Amino acid sequence: MISTLHIKNIGIIEELTIDLNKGLNVLTGETGAGKTTIVKLLMRFYELNKGSIMIDGHDIKDFSRHDLRSLFGMVLQDTWLFNGTIKENLMYGKLDASDEEVKNACEMAYVDHFVNTLEDGYDTVLDEETSNISQGQKQLLTIARAFLKDPKILILDEATSSVDTRTEVLIQKGMEKLMEGRTSFVIAHRLSTIRDANTIIVMKDGDIVEIGNHDELLEKGGFYASLYQSQFEGSEI
């Protein structure tokens, strides 16, 4: 398991070391706060102009992009599936996966039953816009693909933002299984989903303004507390 992430001199983050062994880690803040940018820097979608990002003491610049990205599995708000069969989409993260491995991954992600209700099952072809399945089903398939890849670092970006309540329950259960034994980052707006996180990193205007767990951050009465109160105005905190 990856144990530490060290960020130095990036934007207005002077120096930050995150202990990744303490369970679930969350990045939160308002839209545009810089949460997704950190992830893109971590995966070298952008190159750093200055500063450094270290994973377990190794600078990410010393990895090839392929080797670096092979460490990650991602479940994004905007799911990425392509015009091909469901099986081909699932195997994108592990091209030599067996049929049994594909099926097991889908069972772990609570999507095997849905696939088997389709006339062509795992050979069902997704259309160009993948509009022949729902948003929730797309996200469950993306979770299954991450299970199949078996990454060291898992990034979940707003993974339940656009789905109905019933599917959200399945997605949450799938994500909880997926995070077992892995370094996990969740990028989230909805604070109700992250109360149990061990480490919550709060961002505002590109800066990390607070770090702590839910109770600690509420007690501080700072930016996280105001975000939480604004989301649960009129309800008990």
Q: What angle do CA 81, 84, 89 make, to 5 degrees?
A: 45
Asked if 14 contacts 30 with a C-beta cutoff of 8 angstroms, the reply is: no
Angle at the Cα of 163 (from 43 to 85), degrees rounded to 5?
65
CA count, 13 A, side-chain hemisphere, 81? 33
Q: How far apart are CA 74 and CA 77, in angstroms?
A: 10
Kindly report, residue by residue over 183-233, the tens digit of the pLDDT: 888 887 677 667 878 888 888 887 778 888 899 999 999 999 998 888 776
User: What pLDDT digit, counting tens, does each position of 94-136 carry?
Assistant: 999 999 999 999 999 999 999 999 999 999 999 888 888 988 8
What is the structure's pLDDT at 98? 96
What are the residue ranges of helices labelled H in 150-222?
165-179, 214-220
Question: What percent of the chain has a predicted confidence (pLDDT) above 70?
Answer: 90
How much is the mean pLDDT over the chain? 84
- Sorted by where each starts, the structural domains of the chain and their CATH numbers stand as 1-71+155-164+183-237 (3.40.50.300)
Could you report the per-residue pLDDT of 137-150, keeping only the tens digit for each? 998 999 999 999 99
Q: What is the per-residue pLDDT for 170? A: 87
